């Protein structure tokens, strides 16, 4: 049984919003921090819409959506994380930014609080090194979309204590997720495969081999994937894909991990994916996936 009761989430982008749903839905008091109120307001609306749809589909009982929302608290004050037992960072892939966040949290949170990063490419040991508590630090990489996918890649850093890892592992199970243990290596399991593969798909589009719609249809029909690779990339966002490429390529020098030129052109044209309403596909709604 987990001893963790209150979970803080730093960042309310696509991943942070999904993780917030997972935590509040599982019964945890959930605090979400962002530096600006507008993203927090947008995330709360998206979460409410997702939960309402869950009730309509019979995934939640009537009234459960309101109970879940009551456990969800948003704030622009990171000081409000002072009562958190676990804090999960879900901001973009920039080591300096992550170090700055955890340095602030270290001065605010009690000794027992575990710090975790949702990073998928940056070394857990490197992030933990700037946290002030590298023995109480663990990688917790949720799969996109977190509110629907159950897998969490859990990675200890070099100095992570076994007690910390065990507490985080139990908390992940209490969230209703399925944890797998990985070494602290670039891309862990999933992005080790996905980032180069997605880049291959992007290059197929750029070369005119097939349309995004036909590529997605081929992969879903023949391979049985629930989402096509370009649908998933639109969910990830071109800006995030660029950061993933730069982080993975920077530590591996794997040629297939290098950011494709088309990604940079799409960023320049504002075609980031679902978040802007247009990426490889076009979207009429910016609702969270599954709502």
Q: Is the pLDDT of residue 22 over 70?
A: yes
206 pLDDT band, cuts 50/70/90, is: very high
pLDDT value at residue 290: 61
Tally Cβ neighbours within 10 Å of residue 8.
30
Q: Is the pLDDT of residue 247 over 70?
A: yes
Q: Is the pLDDT of residue 286 over 80?
A: no
pLDDT value at residue 201: 98
Tally Cβ neighbours within 10 Å of residue 194.
19
Tally Cβ neighbours within 10 Å of residue 240.
21
Q: Domains in the chain, please, with CATH?
A: 6-181 (3.40.50.720), 190-276 (1.10.1040.10)
* Residue 99 falls in the annotated catalytic set: no
Return the percentage of the chain with pLDDT > 70, whole number.
Answer: 98
3-class secondary structure for 182-239?
CCCCCCCCHHHHHHHHHHHHHHHHHCCCCCHHHHHHHHHHHHCCCCCHHHHHHHHCHH
User: What 8-state DSSP symbol labels residue 109?
Assistant: S
**Which residues 6+ apart lie within 8 Å of 118 measured at CB?**
15, 16, 19, 88, 89, 90, 140, 141, 142
289 pLDDT band, cuts 50/70/90, is: low
- Give the mean model confidence (pLDDT) for residues 211-235: 96
pLDDT value at residue 93: 85
pLDDT value at residue 285: 73
Q: Can you tell me the distance from the alpha carbon of 210 to that of 118, in angstroms, rounded to the nearest whole number?
A: 33
121 pLDDT band, cuts 50/70/90, is: confident
Backbone angles phi, psi at 97, to 5 degrees: -65, -45
Give pLDDT tens digits for 37-95: 999 999 999 999 999 999 999 999 999 999 999 999 999 999 999 999 999 999 988 89
Give pLDDT tens digits for 93-116: 889 999 999 999 999 999 999 999
Catalytic residue among 93, 117, 131, 141: 141
Beta bridge partners of 179: 152
User: What 8-state DSSP symbol labels residue 23?
Assistant: H
Catalytic residue among 54, 118, 120, 199: 120
pLDDT value at residue 291: 59
120 pLDDT band, cuts 50/70/90, is: confident
The mean of the pLDDT values for the chain is 95
CB-based contact 24:69 (threshold 8 Å)? yes
pTM over 0.85: yes
Catalytic residue among 117, 123, 191, 199: 191
* Residue 118 falls in the annotated catalytic set: no
* Residue 203 falls in the annotated catalytic set: no
Catalytic residue among 153, 155, 199, 231: 153
* Residue 249 falls in the annotated catalytic set: no
């Amino acid at each position: 049984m987990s001893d963790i009761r209150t979970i803080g989430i730093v960042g309310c982008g696509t991943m942070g919003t999904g993780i917030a749903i997972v935590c509040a839905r599982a019964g945890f008091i959930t605090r979400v921090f962002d530096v600006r109120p507008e993203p927090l307001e947008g995330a709360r609306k998206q979460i409410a819409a997702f939960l309402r749809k869950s009730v309509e589909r019979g995934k939640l009982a009537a009234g459960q959506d309101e109970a879940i929302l009551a456990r969800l608290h948003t704030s622009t004050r990171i000081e409000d994380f002072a009562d958190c037992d676990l804090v999960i960072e879900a901001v973009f892939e920039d080591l300096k930014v992550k170090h700055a966040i955890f340095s602030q949290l270290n001065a605010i949170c009690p000794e027992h609080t575990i710090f975790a990063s949702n990073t998928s490419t940056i070394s857990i040991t490197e992030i933990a090194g700037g946290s002030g508590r590298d023995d109480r630090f663990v990688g917790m990489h949720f799969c996109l979309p977190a509110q629907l996918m159950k897998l969490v890649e859990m990675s200890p850093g070099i100095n992570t204590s076994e007690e910390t890892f065990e507490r985080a592992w139990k908390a992940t199970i209490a969230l209703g997720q399925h944890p797998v243990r990985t070494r602290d290596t670039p891309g862990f399991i999933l992005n080790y495969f996905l980032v180069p593969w997605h880049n291959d798909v992007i290059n197929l589009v750029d070369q005119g081999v097939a349309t995004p719609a036909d590529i997605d249809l081929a992969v879903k029909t023949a391979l049985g994937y629930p989402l096509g690779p370009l649908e998933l990339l639109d969910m990830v966002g071109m800006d995030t894909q660029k950061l993933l490429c730069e982080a993975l390529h920077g530590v591996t020098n794997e040629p297939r991990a290098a950011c494709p030129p088309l990604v940079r052109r799409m960023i320049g044209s504002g075609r980031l994916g679902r978040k802007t309403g247009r990426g490889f596909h076009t979207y009429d709604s910016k609702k969270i996936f599954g709502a």
